[in-house]
Structure formats: C-alpha cells, structure tokens
Chains A and B, each alone.
Chain A
Amino acid sequence: MMIRICLADDHAIVLEGLRALVDGEPDMTVVGATTDGDAVEALVRREAPDVLVLDYELGGRRAPEVIQALRQGEQVPRILILTAYHDGETIRSALESGAEGLALKTASPQQTLSAIRQVMAGQLVFPQAARRWLEARQASRSDEVTAREREVWGLIAEGLTNVQIAERLALSENTVKFHVQHLFQKLGVKNRTEAALRHATSGRVPRGPTTG
C-alpha cells in the first residue's frame, strides 16, 4: 500500500528535497505540498493524506496551532512534526499538540522517512527522554470528559465566567477552576475561546459517560 503524504514547510528548498526523496521510495508518494501555513487545512481537506509532515514553524504559525485547526476537520491525518530544535519545550508541545511524532532537521532525512513509516504503523515517535510526558499524554487520553466537566464546558460556551458558573451549579469557584483546568487539558485547548469553539464541534471529542 502506498503511503500518501502531504508536506508543509516554509523553506522551499527543504520541500523540494524531501519531495524528491519521498517520491523515490517504493511505498510512499507525495500528494501535495505547501510553503504557506494558512494553506495547510485546505490542502489536507483536498488530498486527505495518510501522513502530514509539518514544519514546526511555518511562517507565523506554529505546528500546534495548525494541528488544532486540523482537528476541527472531518479527517485528521497522522502528523509528523519536522523541526531543527530538540529542546524540551519543542518536544513537549509537539507531544501535547497531539502529533504522532517528531523528526529532526538536524538528523539525516532518511530518519524522516523511517519516522513516516513508524507513525503510519501507529507508533508514537518521540525521543525516549520524553517518556515522562508521553505517559502523561497516554493517561490523559484514556481520561474522558466527565459529565460535570461537560456541564461546565457548555456554560463556558455560553460565555459565563467561573463565578457565574459556580453560582449556576452551586459549586465553589475553586471547584469550577479545577474542572476548567482539567477540561482544558483533556481538550488540549489553551483558553475559554478555544474551548467554546470546540464545543460547537463537540460531537467529535470524547463524550462523558452520562451525557445525552
């Protein structure tokens, strides 16, 4: 089976090189490529690739932001982030963004090819050193949004503040804060606006056991 790949990198020379290399592999084909961070979603929608190789910094947009936008869509490809930086913050944010793997531009492009095959095979490809965060991600993935969190989420989407939510649900403000914090972690969002936006498409995120 051919792995269908889209490439997104704002360095045209990198795209050109990687495209030639990938197309030279018997089991891979590049179905689309872009240097424009704002064009990634449209490209993925159009081509529905198996794997998206995504530069960590794509013009003004960073990979986590692009991934979050992609997750609003119907079809989310497996995502391999390509970066020159292997510092803790980059590794961690790549992991937390929900990407399947990380490949380095300061290593052989051959390793990028291997990583594409690994994420295609369902593996998570991150440095061993990131295990502490990997475990946390796996734990939080198995955590579903609880009924209470879903309730809080709905009120956030209505534009209520924590104080107002506390009043409405007869909870203390601290308890609400606690639920909001966990909800954001589970949804992978940074703020209320993102949580509210996500609420509009909440059919695609894990539901609590007692919702309906």
Chain B
Amino acid sequence: MRYLSTSKLAAVIGGAVIVMASTSALAMDAEAAKGLARQNNCLKCHGVDKDKDGPAYNKVAAKYKGKADAEDKLIRHITSGEKAKFPDGHEEEHKIVKTTPPNDKDQIKNLVQWILAQ
C-alpha cells in the first residue's frame, strides 16, 4: 500500500472539507426554512432584518459569523427551551420549534443554516 505524503494528505482533507462545506451550503432550502419559521410563528418575534422582541436574523448571523459552534448553539437555543433575554431585560423560555414529522433534526438544521445565512 502506498502512503500519501503529508502535503498530499492535507490537500485531500482540505478538498474534502471544502466539498462538504459547499454541499452543506447548497443543501440549505430557504423556502422550507421560511415555511418552518412561519409555521412556528418565529417571525412574530424576529424579523429577517428588523429587531422585534427578538433580534433580527441578520444580526444573529453577524454575531455568530465565523464561529464553529454557531449551528450547535442555535439548534440548542430553539429546541431546548433555554432562557432568552428580552429587550426589557426579563428572561423567558424560548419557544421550542416543532416540526412535522416531530423532532426532525434535518428541518431544524436547515432553519438554523438559513438564519445564519442572513
């Protein structure tokens, strides 16, 4: 069996990461994400580019830009009922996003990817 040199191995891994990242970005379905947001009344409290009771999605995206754990953090935020801080300072459990069929992780992930793409 032939061994790859370190530089070749790095190139292969790098290429794979780029392909995976671009596939993931391409796979994001904006219409499905917006549909799920509407179904869950997300847009009553969040605007895409307008603050309401919750921050605008483009601000959320800017805050998490370049952070590796952004997706995980947002998924936890919208599925665990953790506390969210409101403009007047009070804290309230964030609504848990529901999917049909229930607990569809792909739909949740797609929604978070859409938010982070704003």
A, B co-complexed: no
Q: A residues touching B (Cβ–Cβ < 8 Å)?
A: none
Q: B residues touching A (Cβ–Cβ < 8 Å)?
A: none
